[in-house]
Amino acid sequence: MTDVPALRERLVDVLRDDGGLTRDDVIQAFATVPRELFLADGFHLGEAGFLRPGDDGFLAAAYRNDALVTKFDDGRPVSSSSQPSLMALMIEALGVAPGMRVLEIGAGTGYNAALMAHIGAAVTSVDVQPDVAARAAAALDRAGVTGARVRVGDGYLGEPSGAPYDRVIVTVGITGVSPHWLAQLVPGGLMLAPVAHAGNNPVLRVWTRPAAGRAEPGWPATDEVWADGICGAGFMAAAGPLAARYPWAHPDPLRVPDGVTPSVQIPPRWKQPLDGLSYHDLWFAVGAWDRRTTSGPFDGGSGCVLADDTRAGGAAIRADGSVIAAGAHAAAFANDAGILLDRWLDAGRPGIERWRAPLVLAGDPAAPIYVPREWSLFA
């Protein structure tokens, strides 16, 4: 199919069915903004390899509901166009509306900024990579977008020249939120950011509340920065202060080879495996309750793992509720994984959106970040 308007309409149908696209103005943005113009230098898509404009399948792939890698550094992906369903969900969850000033951290291809500009927002996009920023700016110009600008700079610092902003949207995986972004938000402004949690980067909604604000049950009035879970996601990792470690962080994702022979196996809990969204709900909960949780390879992919101190053993929780474990303490880790599974089931299988945490300053003292301290379920 090379009928571009039809390809856009088909993408809109997919995003509607996915549930993340509901607003008429966001639907119109996806039906209008030419994603292919933001992929003029080509992209990599799985087994299809690298596709450039004019290649067979380029346009069809450009309008698939997939993340498209647009830049590699030593074989590692460092820039991409995010999955459209995730873009739609984040734009709607953030409540982007006409007249708003939006700060975007991570320019990518410029497509996300173009979508928000089409809605009527004034977007300032910041990217630390000069070539990525230049390509995004050129794509915005090609597409005739006048409501978005791209700046080269350290995303940690935000962009003071455009402040204050009504919204901040972060499109790169981070371990914590920059205080500069919060300082550049208007009172009552909101932020969406993919903050590291248990080997993933789930999207969180972040906001501030005055210290003298009304205390909610179980929440001290002195906590000023808050986060709620929005959805599971994966993003390319940031560098510098935005990737800083802190004492209670989860372990980094495991890189041990797949195919390690498990010494303990617990049978499945249910016949029908959890779908991707529900599995990420389980994964988030396990990570909220156990700091050993991270991402690890098994069964030809990756999933929720409790890692032991050796980082070569522990327990993996499968989507069917079964558990496999290996290493010197396999039995104990398998038992712990089973207890966490029971806890999630007993809690009613809570989704990511049921979790809330106060954020506290941690990371590099010279360039601190706000990170989640303790996650709790709320109604």
Backbone φ and ψ for 260, nearest 5 degrees, come out as -60, 130
- CA 208 to CA 195: how far, in whole Å? 16
pLDDT of residue 258: 57
- Give yes or no for residue 218 having a pLDDT over 60: no
- The DSSP secondary-structure symbol of 251 reads P
Contact assessment for residue 15 and residue 26, using Cβ atoms and an 8 Å cutoff: no
Count CB atoms within 10 A of the CB of residue 140: 26
Query: Which of 334, 329, 336, 335 shows the shortest CA–CA distance to 313?
Result: 329
- The stretch 248-264 carries a mean pLDDT of 83
pLDDT for 214: 47
Predicted confidence at residue 222, as pLDDT, reads 45
Read off the DSSP letter of residue 197.
B
Our separate counts of H helices and E strands in the chain read 9, 19
Crossing angle, helix 84-94 and helix 24-32, to 10 degrees?
140
Residue 77: predicted pLDDT: 76
Residue 299 — pLDDT band, cuts 50, 70, 90? Answer: confident
pTM for the full model?
Answer: 0.92
Confidence of residue 20 (pLDDT cuts 50, 70, 90): confident
pLDDT above 70 covers what percent of the chain?
Answer: 94
Catalytic residues: 82
> Which pLDDT score is estimated for 152?
97
Residue 202: name the closest of 226, 170, 180 by CA: 170
The Cα–Cα gap between 222 and 219 comes to: 9
Q: pLDDT tens for residues 131-186?
A: 999 999 999 999 999 999 999 999 999 999 999 999 999 999 999 999 999 999 99
Distance, CA of 335 to CA of 329 (rounded, Å)? 10
Which one has a higher pLDDT value, 353 or 224?
353
Average pLDDT (81-110) is 96
Instruction: Evaluate if residue 209 carries a pLDDT over 90.
Output: no
| Mean pLDDT along residues 363-370 | 95
Tell me what the mean pLDDT of segment 14-34 comes to: 94
Tokens of 202: 């789930």
pLDDT score of 79 more than 90: no
CA distance 32 to 267: 49
Two structure tokens written together for 348: 């009613």
Residue pair 68/62 in contact (Cβ under 8 Å)? The answer is yes
At 223, the pLDDT band (50, 70, 90 cuts) reads: very low
The C-alpha atoms of residue 373 and residue 360 are separated, in whole angstroms, by: 6
| Mean pLDDT across 197-202 | 96
d(CA 173, CA 176): 9
- Residue in 12, 8, 9 with CA at minimum distance from that of residue 21: 12
Q: How many CB atoms lie within 10 A of CB 52?
A: 11
pLDDT above 90 (res 283): yes
**pLDDT at 259 > cutoff 80:** no
pLDDT band at 1 (very low <50, low <70, confident <90, very high): low
Q: How many CB atoms lie within 10 A of CB 43?
A: 24
Closest-CA residue to 123 (of 96, 95, 142): 96
**Average model confidence (pLDDT) for the chain?**
92
Q: What percent of the chain has pLDDT over 90?
A: 80
Locate tokens 């992906």: which residue? Answer: 77
- pLDDT at residue number 210: 67
Name which residue leads in pLDDT, 222 or 179. 179
Question: Residue 177 and residue 367: Cα distance in Å, rounded?
Answer: 11
